[in-house]
């Protein structure tokens, strides 16, 4: 079975739908043990080139978006959710076109083993402002800003990655 991208998927009796926000506790974290994620897609299957099995969700972690842009992202996304009756078309192409600064906030989370993702719950649209306030203390965007600044500096000084 090759890789398949799912817009709707059920994990631990919670239906994951593209474009909706979810909070959970993640056991295999690097920086953020309790991420708040806007789901892009669920990817399952065997990679055709490597033969490795993929079972993961891909989404935008709100903690990796710079604080100045979080509120604007949430406002635009709430509008998008109301226009589409909570069924937005959420894809990488749309994200790049509409929100180019968010590409560094995209993270992947493993679905298997099941204990990696605990306390999975959907965040209602009405609670999005509370998400911003709750996530204000967590900010991993400074590392991303340093990475982007280093690549820009490298471009002007002739250093290439």
- Number of alpha helices (DSSP H) and beta strands (DSSP E) in the chain: 4, 8
The domain of 82 spans 4-157
DSSP category for residue 96: H
Average pLDDT of every residue of the chain: 81
Of residues 102 and 92, more confidently modeled = 102
Residue 135 has pLDDT above 90, yes or no: no
Q: What is the pTM of this model?
A: 0.79
Name the pLDDT band for 32 (thresholds 50, 70, 90): confident
Which of 57, 39, 35, 54 shows the shortest CA–CA distance to 134?
Answer: 35
Our count of domains for the chain comes to 1
CA distance 19 to 154: 35
Is the model's pLDDT at 158 over the cut of 70? no
Q: Give the SS3 label for residue 44.
A: strand
DSSP H or E segment with residue 141? helix 141-157
Window from 1-5, 47-51, 116-120 with minimum mean pLDDT: 1-5
């Amino acid at each position: 079975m090759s890789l398949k991208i799912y817009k709707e998927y059920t994990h631990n009796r919670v239906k994951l739908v593209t474009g909706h926000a979810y909070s959970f506790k993640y056991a295999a974290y690097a920086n953020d043990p309790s991420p708040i994620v806007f789901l892009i897609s669920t990817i399952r299957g065997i990679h055709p080139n490597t033969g490795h099995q993929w079972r993961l969700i891909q989404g935008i972690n709100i903690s990796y978006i710079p604080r100045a842009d979080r509120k604007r992202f949430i406002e635009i996304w709430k509008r998008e959710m109301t226009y589409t009756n909570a069924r937005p078309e959420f894809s990488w192409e749309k994200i790049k076109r509409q929100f180019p600064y968010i590409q560094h906030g995209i993270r992947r989370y493993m679905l298997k083993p099941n204990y990696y993702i605990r306390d999975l719950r959907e965040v209602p649209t009405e609670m999005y402002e509370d998400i911003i306030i709750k996530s204000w203390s967590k900010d991993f965007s400074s590392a991303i800003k340093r990475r982007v600044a280093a690549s820009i500096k490298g471009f002007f000084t002739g250093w290439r990655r």
